Structure 1
Amino acid sequence: MSGITLRASGIRSGHWEGEIEAQGDVPPSVEIWHMEQRLDGAEIAPSGEPGRWRARVPIPPEALNDGVQTFLVSDGASNARIGQFTIIAGVPLEEDIRAEIGLLRAELDILKKAFRRHCAEKPGQ
């Protein structure tokens, strides 16, 4: 275990931001990986509280594609994963979500009919 914890803040203006908690006064070494490539430009700055640091990394435009893109956050010293963030985008995703919602609605209708039928049955039948 690396002894580093991460609390993601979100994505703002094309940059992922998070807060890192680590032991000591030295900024932790944090790396962001996407598709087995390390992203450059990660900034680690003190947050004003002892043992807490603000992390910020630009998300390169070439990493943004249709579908689900997962970025791994790791401790640069131990290579242990301390977190991740995901970006979901594109038209294929919209179609997938619509199809899933359609299936969920159909299943819910089946369950409602079965429940109503069960409630309408007389006891002992």
Structure 2
Amino acid sequence: MTAWTLTKTRLFEGVWEGALTNEGAELAVPEVIVTHLQEPVPNVELRENKEEECWVLRVPIPVDRIADGVQTFVILDAGTEETLGSFALMSGDALSYDIRAEVTLLRDELDMLKRAFRRHCLETM
């Protein structure tokens, strides 16, 4: 299991931002990959925030990746290839009639719940 924890901070002006923290290793540099439809997303930035003892992850959303329906971006730990988090963009008229959009959201929420449950189990042992 990955030692990194990703917390979304905001989505502003087309850039998704989150904070990466690591309880286990001080001053470790995270290796992160962001994908969309199994393709890497370019221009992902990581910056150290020494005041809050975390790394700031910035993911500029490429214009060519915005389309009707649900577009899911997955954030992975490059070392372990475990999912750290994800975010989805939803748009278009067909979205309100598309059950696949709901299924995608439910899968993402289930993944978040699984990670939280596993983390809870590790912390209570």
TM-score past 0.5 threshold: yes
In structure 1, list runs of 5 or more residues that go unmatched. 98-125
In structure 1, the residue matched to 2:89 is: 87
Between the aligned partners of 2:50 and 2:26, the Cα distance in structure 1 is 14
Percent identity for Structure 1 against Structure 2: 32
Letter in 2 for 1:6: L
1:32-51 paired onto structure 2 within 5 Å: 32-49=34-51, 51=53
Following superposition, the deviation at residue 48 of structure 1 comes to: 2.5
Following superposition, the deviation at residue 95 of structure 1 comes to: 4.8
In structure 2, the residue matched to 1:102 is: none
| Cα root mean square deviation, aligned | 1.8
3-state secondary structure, aligned to 1:46 = strand
Q: Deviations over 1:78-121 (max 9, x none)?
A: 11111111111111124559xxxxxxxxxxxxxxxxxxxxxxxx
Q: Which runs of 4+ in 1 moved over 3 A?
A: 94-97
1:93-104 paired onto structure 2 within 5 Å: 93-95=95-97
In structure 2, the residue matched to 1:19 is: 19
For normalisation by structure 2, the TM-score amounts to 0.70
Instruction: Count matched residues.
Output: 97
Residue of 32, 45, 56 corresponding to 1:30: 32
Between the aligned partners of 1:89 and 1:8, the Cα distance in structure 2 is 20
In structure 2, list runs of 5 or more residues that go unmatched. 100-125
Between the aligned partners of 2:53 and 2:77, the Cα distance in structure 1 is 15
